[in-house]
DNA sequence: GTCACTAATGGACGATCGTCCATTAAATGT
DNA sequence: ACATTTAATGGACGATCGTCCATTAGTGAC
């Protein structure tokens, strides 16, 4: 929107129009989002969020490689100095974006798997799987961002911290559920570990399938596939 | 090695040393590798390969984001103009590198799964799994490169073509084997599809695990995990 | 209204990016 | 031996990178 305004008017008024358009449009939106008191035109915390969101959107749109400071600021409608001001540099912003993205994922995952405490372990496992493959978590934007971050994680320690599914509450949720399922058969603790790791691995694979071919991807079939594998691991459980 | 020479000598002789070192060292190596006729100092094909290899090494070392034309040339010991000369630009070189990497993977996979034609379908499936998780295919370099390419694939169509495991001979190998296993039970064609897709998904997940935590990764445990899942899918088969 | 303070701006800066090409060097043909 | 062709070089080029900072604008205290 900003760019369109800038391009469509003559050069003499370009700067004025861009500034006023930015000011009005974005700040009003921010005010609504954050509930900031009316008339205030400054809100550092909201701008930090704006930058993080713009970073994620830019990565999803044009890829990490082409995500530059200028591009992020352009999209957020804020000035170029803002990144250094609030984050101290591009790298820190990227790390903050990865953290925010990860936190958002787990928050939404928690929300979607908040079954009653009387839910069977099978239902809890399936809830995790269905949540992970739901449109809220698995969509074009999130897959692109997720894999982009993972792709640069090994050369970017700050991001690596948020590129793993393996060290979160989610793992314990699954492990506990599988433990309950096998409780009569306690001798086999490796089964629980394998079921947990295997389920997460299958989900990873599904995300890759989605990234590779979004058209041909079917959430239902993917859920059924994983259920089928779990049904094999725990005969009698996870029946359709 | 080039850089060390450049740094360790004085500035007056820097250029001469670098050139002579590059000429001697690299060309002799290339001659040995390619069997080029003695005394020849030009070999465009070898240089293309040299650039591709240098590209992959650079990506594995410092990540795609920092992989620039200068860095690639520095590592290969060739001049900066070479990339434009042989590939017409950086993007084409990256695509060629992705293609080469993919081809190398499948060549090695073929080599390692070349069992006799009397091998059981179970053995053929397990051969694919063990090959994919072997050190020859799954190592720090290959994982970093693989995920780096996948991370930029969605914004780089040329690379996307080589970032999928799903449209290759490998899929048919697995599908055929699983079909043989279920041949008495022909009515269930989805089982074959699920087993194929699930196995590949599990392997994807194992690669991610390896990338995320190379120290804690165990090839044997990963193979056993997948075998366990398959054993559940096909009761009686894939026994330890 | 004035003052101190912080948020925000946008341009300056040197470094590096990828591309391109005039030049040099090597191989080949005659 | 010389001419022709092709491989290879390395610097020039403008664009863009990320960082930094002098300046402006908004806010709250008095």
List, in order of start, the domains of chain A with CATH numbers.
Answer: 14-88 (no CATH), 98-233 (1.10.357.10)
User: Whole-number Å distance, CA B8 to C1' C22?
Assistant: 32
User: Any atom of strand D under 7 A from CB of B78?
Assistant: yes
Percent of chain B at pLDDT above 90? Answer: 73
Task: Return the pLDDT at A41.
Answer: 75
Task: Return the pLDDT at A185.
Answer: 67
Does the pLDDT of residue B50 top 50, yes or no?
A: yes
Task: Return the pLDDT at A10.
Answer: 32
pLDDT band at residue B2 using 50, 70 and 90 as cut-offs: very low
Instruction: Determine the 3-state secondary structure of B38 from DSSP.
Output: coil
User: Whole-number Å distance, CA B80 to C1' C23?
Assistant: 15
- Where on strand C do bases come within 7 A of a protein Cβ? 6-12, 16-22, 25-28
Report the phi/psi class of residue A223: left, alpha or beta, with left for phi > 0 and alpha for psi in -120 to 50: alpha
- Where does A89-237 have alpha helices with state H? 90-112, 121-132, 140-153, 157-160, 169-181, 189-212, 219-233
Indicate the range of A12-21, A73-82, A205-214, B189-198 predicted with least confidence: A12-21
What tokens were used for B12?
């007056």
Q: Which of A65, A203, A209 sits opposite B155 (nearest CB)?
A: A65
What average pLDDT does chain A have? 85
pLDDT band at residue A91 using 50, 70 and 90 as cut-offs: very high
Suggest the residue from A153, A155, A211 to mutate for an interface test with chain B (most B CBs closer than 10 A). A155
How far apart are the CA of A89 and the nearest CA of chain B, in angstroms? 16
What average pLDDT does chain B have? 85
Return d(Cα B54, Cα B34) in angstroms, integer.
17
User: Any atom of strand D under 7 A from CB of A66?
Assistant: yes
Phi, psi of B101 (to 5 degrees): -65, -45
Task: Compute the average pLDDT of residues A96-121.
Answer: 94
Cβ atoms within 10 A of the Cβ of B178, count?
26
Task: Return the pLDDT at A239.
Answer: 85
Contacts of B160 in chain A (CB under 8 A): 212
Q: How do the residues of chain A divide into helix, strand and coil, expressed in percent and rounded to 5?
A: 70, 0, 30
Instruction: Determine the 3-state secondary structure of B136 from DSSP.
Output: coil
Task: Return the pLDDT at B43.
Answer: 87
Q: Which of B63, B194, B231 sits opposite A228 (nearest CB)?
A: B194
How far apart are the CA of B144 and the nearest CA of chain A, in angstroms? 7
Contacts of A233 in chain B (CB under 8 A): 228-229, 232
| Angle, alpha carbons B40-B41-B42 (nearest 5°) | 100
| Burial class of residue A235 in the structure, from the number of CB atoms within 10 Å of its CB (0-12 exposed, 13-18 middle, 19+ buried) | exposed
User: Any atom of strand C under 7 A from CB of A22?
Assistant: yes
User: Whole-number Å distance, CA A22 to C1' D29?
Assistant: 30
Nucleotide nearest to B43 (CA to C1'): D7
Nucleotide nearest to B45 (CA to C1'): D7
Cβ atoms within 10 A of the Cβ of B191, count?
17
Residue A75 DSSP one-character state: H
Task: Return the pLDDT at B134.
Answer: 98
Return d(Cα A227, Cα A123) in angstroms, integer.
11
- Report how far Cα B67 is from the mean position of its chain's Cα atoms: 17
Task: Compute the average pLDDT of residues B139-162.
Answer: 97
- Which is more confidently placed, A68 or B184? A68
Percent of chain A at pLDDT above 90? Answer: 73
Task: Compute the average pLDDT of residues A198-209.
Answer: 98
B84 Cβ neighbours under 8 A, 6+ residues apart: none
Task: Return the pLDDT at B77.
Answer: 96
B169 Cβ neighbours under 8 A, 6+ residues apart: B106, B110
Return d(Cα A162, Cα A164) in angstroms, integer.
6
Task: Return the pLDDT at A39.
Answer: 56
- Which is more confidently placed, A232 or B38? A232
Does the pLDDT of residue A34 top 50, yes or no?
A: no
What tokens were used for A55?
């970073």
Task: Return the pLDDT at B39.
Answer: 55
What tokens were used for B180?
């043989």
């Amino acid at each position: 929107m900003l760019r369109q305004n800038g391009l469509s008017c003559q050069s003499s008024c370009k700067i004025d129009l861009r500034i006023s358009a930015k000011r009005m449009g974005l700040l009003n939106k921010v005010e609504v989002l954050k509930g900031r008191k009316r008339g205030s035109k400054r809100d550092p915390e909201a701008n930090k969020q704006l930058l993080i969101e713009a970073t994620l959107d830019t990565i999803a749109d044009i890829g990490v490689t082409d995500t530059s400071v200028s591009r992020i600021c352009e999209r957020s409608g804020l000035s170029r100095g803002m990144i250094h001001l609030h984050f101290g540099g591009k790298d820190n912003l990227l790390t903050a974006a990865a953290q925010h993205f990860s936190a958002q994922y787990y928050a939404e995952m928690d929300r979607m798997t908040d079954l009653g405490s009387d839910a069977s372990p099978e239902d809890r496992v399936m809830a995790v799987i269905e949540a992970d493959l739901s449109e809220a978590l698995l969509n074009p934007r999130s897959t692109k961002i997720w894999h982009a971050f993972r792709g640069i994680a090994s050369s970017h320690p700050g991001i690596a911290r948020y590129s793993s599914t393996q060290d979160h509450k989610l793992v314990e949720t699954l492990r506990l559920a599988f433990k309950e399922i096998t409780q009569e058969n306690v001798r086999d603790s490796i089964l629980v570990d394998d079921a947990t790791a295997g389920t997460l691995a299958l989900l990873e694979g599904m995300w890759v399938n989605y990234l590779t071919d979004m058209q041909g991807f079917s959430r239902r079939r993917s859920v059924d596939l994983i259920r089928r594998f779990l049904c094999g691991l725990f005969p009698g459980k996870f029946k359709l």
